[in-house]
Homo-oligomer: A and B are copies of this chain.
Amino acid sequence: MRKVVGVIGGMGPDATVDFMSRVIAFTDASRDQDHARMLVDNNPSIPCRQQALLGKGDDPGPVMAGMARGLEASGADFLVMPCNTAHAFADAVRAAVSIPLLSIVDVTVAACRDHAAVGLLTTKGCLAARVYQDAFAATGSKLIAPDDAEFATLMELIFAIKAGDRSPAIGERMRELGEALVARGATAVIGGCTEITLVLSDGMLSAPLVSSTDELARATADVCAGRRELEAG
């Protein structure tokens, strides 16, 4: 029996749609009926995760927990959040439901297992919340993050993408930020924000790009198809 995925979405809305299209692409199907069922709450009015993590805005946790409960009630067997920064609030989601959350951070870290030094392109809030640092602590790999000036550029690009700009110029500036991490020793770079992976794809950097969106989409397709097991909790 196929599993139904519940998607806590809208962070941002385009990133959720991109995630869905990658799940479909990773599914081995030749007709509609071979695909996985996705229950999606694409709710862009979740309070801003960046503001909350920098201590300047409402806690998005209760809204995300309510969405999780709604998806569970609608029949989801497990949950995903195609947003890395949102995983700073993963405990609020897990506490709200009895179905498992497949973590975008866990699957992305697992995909970096062969790299001793990994570059991390993510949001300032995600870094401040130590979402990736804590996950990497157990692996022994070194994380290389942008410096303050690079972060200013990175956040500017992320908000431009959220406003609808996915032009080659934005992609080029994102590529430069990733390449700077390679120059500092990274042998792989994590696209650790689902907005970043709207403009940056594998092959654009001189090192492999580990797309958090692709890793979560592949794992989601695997769970839906029964090729991967998830533990509750």
User: Chain A: residues with CB nearer than 8 A to chain B?
Assistant: 2, 10-14, 17, 20-21, 24-25, 29-46, 48, 70, 73-75, 159, 162-164
The closest CB in chain B to the CB of A31 belongs to B162
Q: How far is the CB of A167 from chain B (nearest CB, A)?
A: 15
A45 adjacent to B30 (CB under 8 Å): no
Q: How far is the CB of A191 from chain B (nearest CB, A)?
A: 19
The closest CB in chain B to the CB of A75 belongs to B70
Q: Which of B33, B39, B70 contacts A41 (CB 8 A)?
A: B39
A38 adjacent to B35 (CB under 8 Å): no
Bound together, the chains give a CA A46 to CA B35 distance in angstroms of 11
Pairs across A and B, CB under 8 Å, 6 listed: A13-B20, A13-B38, A17-B24, A32-B45, A33-B45, A40-B40
B37 adjacent to A45 (CB under 8 Å): yes
Q: Which of B10, B32, B42 contacts A12 (CB 8 A)?
A: B32
A33 adjacent to B21 (CB under 8 Å): no
Residues on B with C-beta less than 8 A from A46 are: 32
A24 adjacent to B34 (CB under 8 Å): no
Residues on B with C-beta less than 8 A from A12 are: 32, 35
Residues on B with C-beta less than 8 A from A39 are: 40-42
A42 adjacent to B70 (CB under 8 Å): no
A44 adjacent to B36 (CB under 8 Å): yes
Q: How far is the CB of A74 from chain B (nearest CB, A)?
A: 5
Bound together, the chains give a CA A14 to CA B164 distance in angstroms of 21
Bound together, the chains give a CA A7 to CA B31 distance in angstroms of 20
A38 adjacent to B37 (CB under 8 Å): no
A30 adjacent to B163 (CB under 8 Å): yes
Residues on B with C-beta less than 8 A from A30 are: 162-164
With A159-B31, A163-B31 already in contact, the answer to whether A37 and B10 are too (CB < 8 A) is yes
Bound together, the chains give a CA A145 to CA B43 distance in angstroms of 39
A35 adjacent to B40 (CB under 8 Å): no
B42 adjacent to A40 (CB under 8 Å): yes
A35 adjacent to B21 (CB under 8 Å): no
A32 adjacent to B48 (CB under 8 Å): yes
Given contacts A32-B46, A36-B44, A37-B41, 14 further A-B contacts (CB under 8 A): A10-B35, A12-B32, A13-B24, A17-B21, A20-B42, A31-B159, A32-B162, A33-B48, A37-B42, A37-B44, A38-B42, A39-B40, A70-B75, A73-B73
